[in-house]
């Protein structure tokens, strides 16, 4: 039998660490090569990680909710046909009596003084967001290797931050003095109470929150709202839905219609397909459409690359593929990178109108509301149409009201002018 190392994979060039979300196997379990062994979370995506070999899971080195750098050994398998890694002299036990002493170095390492220790980018990011200075961070107890502060350590510290300083004051009224009531509107400490639940944010959730805050602080947001008559699109979808599902194996949604309309509008108004770098506007000649997808761990925005090269059916297939891989945690970091324009379909939740936040470094995002039948006036007559509200948030550093309005109007025209004879 040979020992197989399971390492924290590097899920993309910019990924420096990963958090173990869940082990699908426990020590002693048999595991086959490429069978799902664990789930990890990075600052980009959540992914299921397959086993590097066939064997028995004999040791889990890094446990759930722990963040470690990429290429860290996180577990060991005992399998056949794989060359074992080198055994260093310090690791080779001498007499059998030395075996129980093996955990001692790890315990000593964790008790190391906090000064000068390493902090992961994730921990530093949380500390900055929560206003924890480096001087204070050095006093946070660490449970990682060498006393390293993990995400869980910092979140636990934040949950009880400041309570120790208030404890002596709580004990002060011991000589008959009446306790001083809390001032109106005072915020109670979150830790140690039975009527609150502290829920640590996921890695993806933290990054999304930071990304949205950064966007609001970076771009002066302006929103434009147009009403669109989706009747022709609704009728076309209803007429082709059954045949499409029978041929492709998945349901036809409204998203391919919307993406196609956006792509055609971006070709006419390419400035909306740009980003800002310093004092330069970077106008992209390719169109990568991000589509916001709800998942168990929050909102993920996978990207359809080179959407301008795809026909209607190709767009539909791309939307379905990315949505499925988002929900099953099969996305790779490159699947959520490189977007040039984003669409957020909050209408699936029944929302009429929303004002989405721009997905940096893009300069615009389209939000689509629920499609509803409403009574409208058409050619001086009253009729019932399938209507929706589309909102576009755009960066006023690059896009003024005229350009934003013209682009959004073109999207509306593309949908309302959809050819009902189009074959898909």
CB 338 within 8 A of CB 303: yes
Catalytic-labelled residue, pool 211, 395, 400, 409 = 400
- Please answer whether residues 230 and 386 qualify as being in contact, where contact means their C-beta atoms are separated by less than 8 angstroms: yes
Task: Give the span between the Cα atoms of 10 and 366, in whole angstroms.
Answer: 32
Answer yes or no: are the C-beta atoms of 272 and 341 closer than 8 Å.
yes
How would DSSP label each residue in 194-216? TT----PPPHHHHHHHHHHHHHH
CB distance 316 to 256 below 8 Å: yes
Alpha helical stretches, state H, 183-335: 203-218, 231-248, 255-268, 312-327
Question: From the DSSP assignment, how many helices (H) and strands (E) are in the chain?
Answer: 10, 19
Q: d(Cα 49, Cα 220) in Å, to the nearest integer?
A: 40
CA contacts within 13 A on the Cβ side of 45? 26
Q: Is residue 326 a contact partner of residue 295, using CB atoms and an 8 Å limit?
A: yes
CA separation (Å) from 149 to 16, 126, 131, 162, 259?
16, 12, 16, 18, 44
Q: Which of 226, 396, 409, 419 is catalytic?
A: 396
> Is 400 one of the catalytic residues?
yes
Q: Say how far apart CA 344 and CA 301 lie, in whole Å.
A: 9
Is 396 one of the annotated active-site residues of the chain? yes
- Active-site positions read 396, 400
């Amino acid at each position: 039998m040979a020992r197989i190392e399971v390492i924290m994979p590097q899920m993309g060039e910019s990924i420096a660490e990963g958090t173990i979300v869940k082990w699908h196997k426990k020590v002693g379990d048999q595991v086959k090569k490429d069978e799902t062994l664990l789930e990890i979370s990075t600052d980009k995506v959540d992914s299921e990680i397959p086993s590097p070999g066939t064997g028995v899971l004999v040791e889990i080195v890094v446990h759930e909710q722990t963040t470690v750098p990429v290429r860290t050994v996180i577990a060991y398998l005992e399998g056949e046909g794989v060359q074992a890694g080198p055994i260093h002299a310090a690791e080779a036990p001498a007499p059998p009596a030395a075996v129980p002493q093996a955990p001692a170095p790890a315990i000593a390492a964790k008790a190391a003084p906090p000064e000068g220790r390493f902090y992961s980018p994730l921990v530093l990011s949380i500390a900055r967001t929560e206003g924890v200075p480096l001087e204070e961070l050095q006093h946070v107890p660490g449970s990682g290797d060498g006393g390293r502060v993990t995400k869980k350590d910092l979140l636990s510290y934040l949950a009880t931050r400041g309570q120790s300083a208030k404890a002596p004051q709580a004990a002060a009224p011991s000589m008959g003095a009446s306790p001083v009531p809390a001032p109106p509107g005072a915020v109670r400490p979150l830790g140690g109470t039975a009527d609150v639940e502290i829920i640590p944010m996921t890695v993806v959730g933290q990054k999304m929150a930071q990304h949205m805050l950064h966007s609001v602080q970076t771009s002066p947001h302006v929103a434009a709202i147009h009403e669109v008559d989706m009747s022709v699109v609704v009728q076309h979808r209803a007429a082709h839905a059954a045949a499409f599902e029978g041929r492709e194996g998945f349901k036809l949604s409204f998203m391919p219609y919307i993406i196609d309309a956006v792509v055609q509008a971006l070709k006419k108004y390419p400035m909306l397909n740009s980003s800002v770098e310093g004092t330069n506007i970077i106008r992209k000649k390719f169109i990568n459409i991000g589509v916001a997808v709800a998942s168990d761990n929050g909102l993920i925005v996978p990207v359809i690359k080179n959407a301008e090269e795809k026909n209607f059916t190709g767009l539909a297939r791309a939307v379905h593929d990315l949505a499925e891989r988002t929900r099953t945690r099969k996305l790779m970091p490159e699947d959520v990178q490189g977007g040039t324009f984003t669409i957020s379909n909050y209408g699936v939740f029944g929302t009429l109108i929303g004002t989405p936040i721009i997905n940096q470094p893009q300069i615009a995002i389209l939000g689509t509301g629920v499609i509803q039948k409403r009574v409208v006036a058409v050619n001086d007559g009253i009729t019932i149409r399938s209507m929706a509200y589309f909102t576009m948030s755009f960066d006023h550093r690059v896009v003024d009201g005229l350009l934003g309005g013209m682009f959004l109007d073109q999207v509306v025209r593309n949908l309302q002018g959809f050819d009902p004879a189009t074959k898909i």
